[in-house]
Amino acid sequence: MSTQLSSPVSSPLPNPLAQVEADIARACKQAGRERSSVTLIAVSKTFEADAITPVIVAGQRVFGENRVQEAKAKWPPLLAAHPSVSLHLIGPLQSNKAKEAVALFDAIHSVDRPSVCEALAKEIDRQQRAPELFVQLNTGEEPQKAGVAPAEADAFIASCRDTYGLTISGLMCIPPLDEPPAPHFALSAKIAARNGLKNLSMGMSADFAIAIQLGATHVRVGTAIFGAR
């Protein structure tokens, strides 16, 4: 899904979103890619409806949240008022929140362990609703961060498919803050390619241009659109 500005001039917040769109378009052009090949996810975590609504009015249609409970508290009225909006869970998912996550989100970027796979498979079957699923990688193998280690990724993806019957759309990664992101993006792209996955959720406000050069199909941008939290 691609996101285009419908009328940036009329937006109450034209400049940040328009600038991000221009930067994405520039990165796509430099990479020899179509703008439509990259989905912009506006990360609205911690922001309330009064900050999100102008961004929707400006034409943005895909939003990302980190926590199921926060999203459940603020998004149902927004989605009712703007049914074309798509909501992505980009933060960790606890297995006991799978029911709510499947009901609310159109995509889940944080599939990373068997308990989550089992819970998602159960709810997808029960609700007959199938969000797009991404396996989260921990490319830096950071102990404090969720995600599957690169060496275990192939087996985990196979297990998602064969053991739990999940359709995996792509991979998501968040590189370590103190390391150059490019090697982590390149590794994610390599793992995706050998597992037949076409989608790559990688790149944030500071590094999405690099991510696009290395194959990102979804970039998660919050600060550059909404400002500092």
pTM for the whole structure: 0.92
- pLDDT of amino acid 15: 78
Indicate the helix (H) or strand (E) that contains 133: strand 132-137
Residue 45 Cα distances to 48, 67, 221, 227, angstroms = 8, 8, 11, 12
- The pLDDT of residue 229 is 78
Residues of the chain with pLDDT below 70 are 1-14
Q: List CB contacts of 125: < 8 A, sequence separation 6 or more.
A: none
Domain 8-226 is found in CATH 3.20.20.10: yes
What is the identity of the amino acid at 73? A
| In the chain, where the domains are located | 8-226
Q: What is the pLDDT of residues 144-177, one digit of tens each?
A: 999 999 999 999 999 999 999 999 999 999 999 9
